[in-house]
Amino acid sequence: MQTLSKNQQIIFDLIDKSPEPMKAYAILFNVQKKGIKAPLQVYRALDKLVEIGKIHKIESRNAFIACQNSSCQVSKATAFSICEICEKVTEISSASLSKYLTNFKDKDGMKYSKYNLEFFGLCKKCR
């Protein structure tokens, strides 16, 4: 449990209470009243928060979401479900999935140190 710096805490709190993934410039807009004025201040905090696993980047959306999986200390194995209509994103926490992927070896016997998986479909509400 790492203690966050001022900017990191402000930005984490915002993302954490957002019901949906947030984009960097939406974050910037929201924290300007707290004195964070420049994109770089946002991106630096985001980089650190991703590094320590407090948030994850949804690559297909260029957006950031708080880790919903308390056991996910380091972001080396991430999986998300994304609704293609309402854009709701949920972090998937499935022991069997993570076991399967963590142990996955390709034809060369290459073992990977990290993965990111994004599933797309329609959420309950949108079906």
Give the interface with a copy of itself as residue ranges (CB under 8 A).
59-60, 81, 90, 92, 94, 97, 100-101, 104, 106-108, 110-124
Q: What's the min distance (Å) between Cβ of 82 and DNA?
A: 15
Separation between Cα atoms, residue 127 and residue 122, nearest integer Å: 6
Two tokens at 49?
Answer: 């928060």
Binding mask 26-45 for DNA (x = CB under 7 A): x--------xxxxxxx-xxx
First to last CA, the chain: 39
123 binds Zn ion (CB under 5 A): yes
Phi, psi (rounded to 5 degrees) for 32: -65, -35
Separation between Cα atoms, residue 86 and residue 79, nearest integer Å: 18
18 binds DNA (CB under 7 A): no
Out of 1, 3, 110, 124, the only residue in the binding site for DNA (CB under 7 A) is 3
Question: Which H or E run contains 80?
Answer: strand 77-83
Nearer to Zn ion, 41 or 69 (CB): 69
Query: Is 77 in contact with 69 (CB distance < 8 Å)?
Result: no
Q: Binders of Zn ion among 25-64, rule CB under 5 A?
A: none
Q: What's the min distance (Å) between Cβ of 125 and DNA?
A: 24
Two tokens at 30?
Answer: 């929201």
Among a copy of itself, Zn ion, DNA, none, what binds residue 81 when CB lies within 5 to 8 Å by partner kind? a copy of itself
